Amino acid sequence: MAGHSRWANIQRRESAQARRRERVPSGDGDSGLVRVRFEGYGPGGAAVMVDCLTPDRERSGAQVRRAFDLHGGNLGADGSVSYLFNTVGLMTFPPGTDEEQLMRVALEAGAEDVVPSDDCSVEVLADPLEFDTVRAVLTHGGFTPATARVTERAATALELSGESAMLMAHLLDALEELDEVRDVYSNVEISDEVLARL
């Protein structure tokens, strides 16, 4: 599997997710909300999936379509990009983690892969059905993940640079800011140099 999108690792995404969690209704108020997924392509041909929790599919679709249109992308049909992603249990460990020992414990626990990142952090991938077990074994073995969740991960990555990368970063930002959007997944890798200019 290709490396996890750098976009998913930047701090801005974490703050957008925190703001969304604050806005999510809880309890019986969820009864009128439905989960909807939109798929499309961003600048440079990057694949994008957008998961929404909404009372009105058409309104959410119009907002997502507008974001794509304004930033050089286009919304596609159901299934147009989802085949490029795999549902995985993803756990991340900070730089300085003993990679060799983590790999041994993770693979014994049933993890599918251990992937070192350029920044010396380590990702552990697990089947979503085995995710809780693998996380519990790792935690018991002294490896508490910095983040742990079941997510979508691109099977291949697309590296963008220049204007396409800038437009794509703006598209991802615009999608993240929509109230009803819960998650945005992309196969794009945007260089740190481009991200620094944003």
Q: How far is CA 186 from the centre of its chain?
A: 7
- Looking at per-residue pLDDT, the higher value among 175 and 117 belongs to 175
Question: Rounded to two decimals, what is the model's pTM?
Answer: 0.77
Q: Which amino acid is at 34?
A: V
Domains 6-83+155-192 and 85-154 share a fold: yes
> Domains of the chain: which residue ranges?
6-83+155-192, 85-154
Query: What are the structure tokens assigned to 63, written together?
Result: 């907002």
Q: Note the pLDDT tens digit of each residue in 151-182.
A: 998 988 898 888 888 899 999 999 999 999 99
Q: Do residues 147 and 92 make contact, with C-beta atoms less than 8 angstroms apart?
A: yes
Q: Do residues 109 and 137 make contact, with C-beta atoms less than 8 angstroms apart?
A: yes
Cα 132 to Cα 88: distance, rounded to the nearest angstrom: 12
Q: Note the pLDDT tens digit of each residue in 48-94.
A: 999 999 999 999 999 999 999 999 999 999 999 999 999 999 999 99
CATH says 85-154 is which class?
alpha beta
- Whether CATH 3.40.50.2300 fits 6-83+155-192: no
Cα 63 to Cα 109: distance, rounded to the nearest angstrom: 42
Q: What is the DSSP string of 136-186?
A: HHHHHTT---SEEEEEEEESS-EEE-HHHHHHHHHHHHHHHHSTTEEEEEE
Mean of pLDDT over the chain: 84
